Structure 1
Amino acid sequence: MKYFSSYKLFNIVIAFAMTMFFSCKNNFKEVQQIGVLQNEPIGVAEDMNLRYTDSGRLKANLISPKMLDFSNRDFSYNEFPDGVILNIYDERNKKSVIVADYAIVYNDTDLIDLRGNVLITTETKDSIFAQQLFYDQKRDWVFSNKPVKYVSKKEIITGNAFDANRDFNKYGISEVTGIHYLDDDSEQ
């Protein structure tokens, strides 16, 4: 009888263990999120100096005092709450500079959203002023659907949309609201 009792107990323990084993789920992602609030960044970096190269050639250089890493989100991004300086280099290594008060880099789309007092200074010393501008890293294209002002040595053009290639030698201003031609003798 003792043998039958221990055999019954052994089967109950095995059944219980198998139930526990098969009821467990793989919650590795949930375990990773323990202690990380959903609205908090997963990391913070200070004094950023990020260089983007392609085939050994420097294409862009992003500088910022602070970066918040939200790669723990489904649509991951990096936020630059204290502003950025984005240096963009053309094929001849000539530099254009974009400065903004705030920026977000969307990792899945390679799109940089620049906001607040956006200023572009091209290699030819032309300037573009906007409140919001996007830089598409995949297509090397800059665009905005907000009011812009383009200032060159010869003219000032204002409009409600802007797009340009990375070198700023091909650009367009849509819905032009004003053109002011400057004298050849005037200084900017």
Structure 2
Amino acid sequence: MVICNSYQQLFAIGLFLIMLTSCTNNLKDVQNIGISDNEPIGVAENINLKYTDSGKVKAILKSPKMYDYSNMKFAYNEFTDGVNLELFEDGKKSVVISDYAIIYNKTNIIDLQGNVKITTHSNDTLFAEQLYYDQEKNWLFTNKPVTFRTGQDIINGNGFDSNSKFTNAEVLEITGLITVDE
């Protein structure tokens, strides 16, 4: 009986030691319990985000839905139902609209897709199917077909390159130019 009892004790101690050494304190694993590797960590609906600086509204972002994939190795936020962004500078408003958008957190690149339209406060308008925005460099670019209306000119081309204020906007590989007399 004593031999059997010591085997049971030895087994219980061994099991306890195995359980103790297999436990690790990994907060990331605990946070991801129940989340598939391909699932967003969060979903936001009916977004109406206002960004202010020094008490002044600088931007308003509206979107029906945003998926937060910050749990991925290459983190991103996805706006599957489009975005409407109003930008304010010196009391003047510019508007950015697209059917879909994705923001890559590590590279600070925003990828706008589907019926992209940017209208500046001076009424210059860019139409594109896809447009990238580099947030660090404040730079817009694409190699896809675009239509750019500036002043009386409507310029079609295959690509676009510009700073965010459109002060040096350039349509690449121009395929057509129309000047509208007013």
TM-score for the superposition, normalised by structure 2? 0.82
Aligned-residue sequence identity (percent) comes to 52
TM-aligned CA deviation for residue 170 of structure 1: 2.2
Q: Deviation of residue 174 (structure 1)?
A: 1.3
Cα separation, 1, equivalents of 2:142 and 2:88: 20
SS at match of 1:45: strand
Gaps of 5+ in 2: 3-7
The answer to whether residue 167 in structure 2 is matched with residue 150 in structure 1 is no
RMSD value over aligned CA atoms? 2.8
1:62, CA displacement in angstroms? 1.7
Q: Which amino acid aligns with 1:73?
A: M
Aligned to 1:176: 174
1:77 aligns to 2:69 (yes or no):
no
- 1:50 aligned to 2:38? no
Decide whether aligned partners of structure 1 residues 123 and 135 sit closer, same or farther in structure 2, where only a CA change above 3 A counts: same
Q: How does 1:2-13 map to 2 (within 5 A)?
A: none
User: SS of the residue aligned with 2:38?
Assistant: coil
Matches within 5 A, 1:49-128: 49-53=48-52, 58-90=57-89, 92-128=90-126
Please report how far the alpha carbon of residue 121 of structure 1 lies from its aligned counterpart in structure 2 after TM superposition: 0.9
Residue by residue over 1:109-152, the C-alpha shift from the partner in whole angstroms, topping out at 9 and shown as x without a partner, is 22211100001111111211100011222222222121111113
TM-score (norm 1): 0.80
Q: Which moved more, 1:78-87 or 1:32-41?
A: 32-41
Relative distance call for 1:55 and 1:77 in structure 2 (3 A) is: farther
* Greater alpha carbon shift after TM alignment, 78-87 vs 59-68: 59-68
Count how many residue pairs are aligned between Structure 1 and Structure 2: 181
